[in-house]
Structure 1
Amino acid sequence: MAEAERITGTPGNGPEPGQGDGGETEQGVAETGASAAPRGRRRIGALLLVALIVYLLDLGSKLLVVAKLEHHEPVQVIGTLLQFEVIRNRGAAFSMGEALTIFLTLIAAAVIVVIFRIARKLYSLPWALALGLLLGGAFGNLTDRLFRSPGVFQGAVVDFIAPAHFAVFNLADSGIVCGGILIVLLSFRGLDPDGTVHKD
């Protein structure tokens, strides 16, 4: 009887589950899962640290120049090439759009929301630096829009860095511009916020 079962190949004597083809399938799934896992660790902490430093530097510098320099003659830092002069700006860069203060406030808030959405899949340190500069600058100017006169959503931004033949700006503006330039460079190099590199 046993000989007959051996010759006919009775079901049940084949490979156990998990062996042969089944084992290879499970191994493939495991390898796929490993390759799909994010590389490195998330960089939200770095983003928030950079944003906090930019925000505190901007806020502290504005409080200082308003207390010491507003309603005074400009202070020459490098002769007439660079001066500190306090200006209240209700518009965007170059004082454009002064009648759109509420709209500019909403844009700044929207930028902050978008940055936090991107941060959920942020694994690239250069992107964390860029977004941190952008976030800190946006928060800095948004604070002015919300809490400075003439009122909530209509506050004037404090600008005080006055290079010759150029617009007056502040440290928040510098953070936004530097962050934007870095984002453009990272995009040209094909580096995504999740740390992967794509080629067009």
Structure 2
Amino acid sequence: MNATPDDQPVDVPSPRGHRLFWWVLAIAAFIVVIDQASKWWAEAQLGDGSTIPVIGDLIRFVLVYNPGAAFSIGTEYTWIFAILAGVGAIAIAWFAWRVGSVGWTIALGLILGGAITHLGDRLFREPGFGRGHVVDFIGYGDWFIGNVADIAIFAGAVMILVLTFMGIAPKGGRVRDDA
């Protein structure tokens, strides 16, 4: 009874959407806690410059402080990334308020959690407010070094792609094919 029937227009609000919003927040909070705890561990265990191989050189734990975005792009624009993370978190929360699909709820919770924890790093870590560096410690070969928030954002984005290709609407039910 909670699912939107296939013959209803996609823009009909789902009564369960607002209830699912609280799950988005719970998932986001879980990601923030796990991410920050793992960063605390990384700083405590790897702060002396050591590296811990997990799967040889393919996956390893190594501590770096990233002032930029993915792949350390834009290192001189840290404050812009703080603003983008804040705007992104607000936009995701606004969109999540209307979601009526469990799959979309999980995906948005993952992305929101990653955005919030990155925003927290930018605001409260050294070298200062709005210019903080993100703690990265999961090395993927010679490609890049990331963290738990990056994994959550990536997983949420992949989920959104899969849900979209499956035709599952954010508000629940299937997207109608009017063609």
- Find out whether 1:67 has 2:38 as its counterpart: no
Q: Which blocks of at least 5 consecutive residues in structure 2 are unaligned? A: 1-11
Relative contact order (alpha carbons < 8 A, sep ≥ 6): 1 or 2 greater? 2
Give 1:111's match in structure 2, choosing from 88, 106, 122.
88
Identity of aligned residues (%): 36
Aligned counterpart, 2:139: 162
Aligned counterpart, 1:148: 125
Give 1:76's match in structure 2, choosing from 53, 66, 85.
53
Give 2:14's match in structure 1, choosing from 38, 61, 82.
38
TM-score by length of 2: 0.86
Higher Cα radius of gyration: 1
Between 190-199 and 169-178, report the one with greater CA deviation.
190-199
Q: Indicate conservation of the 8 Å contact 2:63/2:135, yes or no.
A: yes
Report the Cα distance in structure 1 between the residues aligned to 2:123 and 2:101, rounded to whole angstroms.
32
Q: Indicate conservation of the 8 Å contact 1:46/1:125, yes or no.
A: no
State the shift of 1:123 in Å. Answer: 1.2
Report the Cα distance in structure 2 between the residues aligned to 1:197 and 1:113, rounded to whole angstroms.
26
Q: Please report the RMSD computed on the Cα atoms of aligned residues, expressed in angstroms.
A: 1.7
Q: Indicate conservation of the 8 Å contact 1:137/1:176, yes or no.
A: yes
State the one-letter code of the partner of 2:85: A
Give 1:135's match in structure 2, choosing from 81, 96, 112.
112
**TM superposition outliers: structure 1 runs of 4+ over 4 Å:** none
Report the Cα distance in structure 2 between the residues aligned to 1:195 and 1:37, rounded to whole angstroms.
9
TM-score by length of 1: 0.78
